[in-house]
Amino acid sequence: MAAFRLVVLALVVSCVGASEQQATANPIRKVVNMLQAMEKKVTAEGEKETELFDKFMCYCKNGDEALGASIAAAEGKVPQVTSDIEAGEAEVAQLKSDLKSHQTDRAAAKTAMAEATKIREKEAADFAALKAEADANIAAATKATAAISKGMSGSFLQTSDAQVLRNLVVGKNSLDDDVREELTAFLSTGNGYAPASGQITGILKQMIDTMTADLASATSSENAAVKSFGELMAAKEKEIASLTKSIEEKMVRLGQLQVDIVEMKEDLDDTGKALLEDKKFLGDLAKNCKTKAEEHAANQKLRSEELLALADTIKILNDDDALELFKKTLPGASLLQVQVSSTQQRQQALAVIKAARSDPRLSFLALALQGKKVNFDKVLTMIDEMVVTLKAEQQDDEDKKEYCAMQFDLADDKKKSLERSVSNLEKAIEKAKEGVAALAEEIKALEAGIVALDKSVAEATEQRKEENVDFKELMTSDGAAKEILGFAKNRLNKFYNPKLYKAPPKKVLSDEDRAVQAAGGTVFADVSAHVAPPPPPATAAAFSKKSEESGGVIAMVDLMVADLTKEMTEAEATEKNAQEDYEGAMKDAADKRATDSKSLADKQKAKAELGADLEASGQEKAATTKTLMATLEHIQALHAECDWLLQYFQVRKEARAGEIESLKTAKSVLSGASFALL
């Protein structure tokens, strides 16, 4: 560029026509002004290029730091997410194993319930049949006893109850042969049989007692079986409910965990891709920044040389001696034509250049060809240099186009990466907010549950204390009552049944009692207010013991003592069961409270960690958004720098090609004749 401008300057100085110089009062001043304008323009271009270079270097520095931070964050995030995925997959496997175990246990419990139900139904049916048969047999034996007692054995033998009794005697294996024969003979004879009523009645009563006892035993066994069945069903239902709850909770947890693992894998994939893109972008950025710095240094050096050449030229032209010389020489200087054909060739070359003139620099060539004194060698050199310059400018445009395309790609890739990062951070922030809210609700529920549990424990403890106090009062009062009743019974026995009387232990005398006995055992009363007693009342009849009545009273006392003993035994059993239930409930409550407290602490810790993650994600999002805005500004700057070139690249390329072709044509025209400088 500098060489081209110096050539143009030399041609302008040497080839200006005489008529143009005469029309201008001071042509050298005009040349100097043009040189000074060129100097200002070069300086302004240098300042503009320096400003753009500084911005580019600032971008290189900030982009390097931002990308370094992004790469470091991604490299730290990848192993953490990988570890979380592995932990989640391990937990998924454990949950699946637990679910399989729970489902197997629940199916086994349901099977056990079904089998127990079948057994219970069979036992219940057997008991019903046994009870029906026993009731019928007892009723038949009872009616037979009543009939024999009333002497209506003949009429009884005609009833269905007699048939029932026959079947019983025949089918009952526990009867002795003599008894069976006696009963069979009784049940098989008509009215003419004179039974041994007392013996038959005794046998029947004994059978009734035996059957009644057997029925009572069977009933007791049935009741025990019903109770055991109920307890078994309750335990199994509780177990099934617990297993069902665990299955539902773990299925929910399994589903959520699998969703989290998928999201973490997507996040890991996005992070890995973003990491590769950032590293590639960082490598290209360093290369591009280095290339740009080298180009800027070369441009600065060339621009300094150009400014030095312009300054030296201005200094030469402004010299006083040079000005005096120009005044003397410029008006008479001219370029003379030595052959007639040179004018035609010059006009042809001028026409070609004017026809293709789109670059202002071609005007200098046209100006040179229009001059009187034309040095075609210099013009041909100028044409060659201009062709080289145009080709160099075209190469610069192509390099700049390639640079712009590469920068647009890099910036667009970075913009997409940053937008994806912002989107992922927004998802993470939203997920963290939801997690914090969910944990807050769970913490609130756990705290309320712990308060309610503590309240229930306090109420149960207070109730247990009250029940224990009632139990102790009952035992004390019943014990005292039994003792009083025992004293009363012993006192009655002393009179009515002396053999059953139990004498109290010998009383240990106190000092006061021993003093009284030492005094003769007499205690004198105060007789100062003694008066004569009234006449004695009529005497009663001779005494007789109420032995029969006393027996009934003693029996009632025994019955009351037995009732009190039974009540105390039941109270002790109730108290023992209540205490065991209370201790079991307290243990369960303590276990649940410990579990809930641990869960509460874990959830509070998880909430705090989520809050920290939320804050970190917010800061990271703000930083990433800031980087994205800087990238968008860089893209906008690239558009301002490159859009015009990209839009008019083909037009400029075609125009330069046309100019180069025109210059070559003009050179051919000018090379067709021989010229000499006179």
86-101 per-position pLDDT tens digit:
998 999 999 999 989 9
Give Rg (Cα) of the chain.
64
Q: What is the pLDDT of residue 545?
A: 44
**Residue 104: band (very low, low, confident or very high) from pLDDT cuts 50, 70, 90:** very high
Each residue of 444-472: pLDDT tens digit? 898 898 898 888 888 889 888 988 998 89
Mean pLDDT value across residues 650-657: 82
Top pLDDT among 517 and 54 is at: 54
Q: Decide if pLDDT at 81 tops 60.
A: yes
Q: Extract the tokens encoding 189.
A: 């004879």
**229 in Cβ contact with 77 (< 8 Å):** no
Q: Which residue has the tokens 């939203």?
A: 430
Contact by Cβ (8 Å): 666, 349: yes
d(CA 124, CA 110) in angstroms, rounded, equals 20
The Cα 391–Cα 529 span in angstroms is 162
pLDDT for 304: 86
CA distance 533 to 566: 52
Say how far apart CA 169 and CA 164 lie, in whole Å: 9
Mean pLDDT, range 512-534, rounded to an integer: 44
**Residue 130 pLDDT exceeds 50:** yes
The CA-CA-CA angle for residues 23, 24, 26, to 5°, reads 150
DSSP string, 67-88: HHHHHHHHHHHHHHHHHHHHHH
Give the residue-averaged pLDDT of 133-139. Answer: 81
Please answer whether residues 224 and 76 qualify as being in contact, where contact means their C-beta atoms are separated by less than 8 angstroms: no
Distance between CA atoms of 54 and 276, rounded to whole angstroms? 28
Name the phi and psi angles at 497, rounded to 5. Answer: -135, 75
Torsion region of 535: left, alpha or beta (phi above 0 gives left; psi -120 to 50 gives alpha) = beta
Q: At what angle do helices 376-496 and 197-317 cross, to 10 degrees?
A: 160
Q: Does residue 336 contact residue 345 with C-beta atoms inside 8 Å?
A: no
Tokens of 221: 């066994």
Contacting residues for 348 by C-beta, under 8 A, at least 6 apart = 669
Dist. CA 638–CA 411, nearest whole Å: 9
Match 């019983």 to its residue by tokens: 168
Closest CA to 200 of 219, 185, 221, 217: 185
Least-confidence region, from 211-220, 321-330, 518-527? 518-527
The pLDDT of residue 76 is 86
Q: What is the pLDDT of residues 356-408, one digit of tens each?
A: 555 566 665 565 555 545 556 767 777 788 788 888 888 888 888 888 888 88
pLDDT above 50: residue 38: yes
501: left (phi over 0), alpha (psi -120 to 50) or beta: beta
Angle between helices 177-188 and 160-171 (to 10 degrees): 160
Rounded Cα gap, residues 672 and 480, in angstroms: 154
DSSP H/E element including 601: helix 547-670
Tokens coding 115: 């089998």
Return d(Cα 16, Cα 21) in angstroms, integer: 7
Identity (one letter) of the amino acid at 127? F
pLDDT higher than 60, residue 488: yes
- Do the beta carbons of residue 635 and residue 412 sit within 8 Å? yes
pLDDT score, position 235: 92
| Residue 1 in this model has a pLDDT that exceeds 70 | no
pLDDT over 70 (residue 25): no
pLDDT, tens digit (0-9, with 9 covering 90-100), for 141-200: 777 777 666 655 555 666 666 667 666 666 665 666 666 666 666 666 544 444 555 667
Report the amino acid identity of residue 118.
Answer: K
Mean pLDDT of the chain: 75
Mean pLDDT calculated for residue range 606-629: 87
- What pLDDT score does 17 carry? 41
Two tokens at 500? Answer: 């059953």
Angle among Cα 193, 194, 197 to the nearest 5 degrees reads 125
Give the contacts of 615 (CB within 8 A, at least 6 positions apart).
none
pLDDT tens by residue, 247-294? 989 888 888 888 889 888 888 888 888 888 877 777 777 777 888 888
Q: Is the pLDDT of residue 337 over 60?
A: no
Element holding 2 (H helix, E strand): helix 2-15
Q: How far is CA 521 from CA 513, 515, 526, in A?
A: 9, 9, 16
Residue 299 to residue 371: CA distance in whole angstroms: 34
pTM: 0.33
254's CB contacts (< 8 A; 6+ apart) are 92, 95, 96, 99
> Looking at 108-122, 286-300, 339-353, which range is the least confident one?
339-353
pLDDT tens for 504-522 read 766 555 655 554 455 444 4
What local confidence, expressed as pLDDT, does residue 612 receive?
Answer: 86
Number of neighbouring beta carbons within 10 Å of residue 380: 14
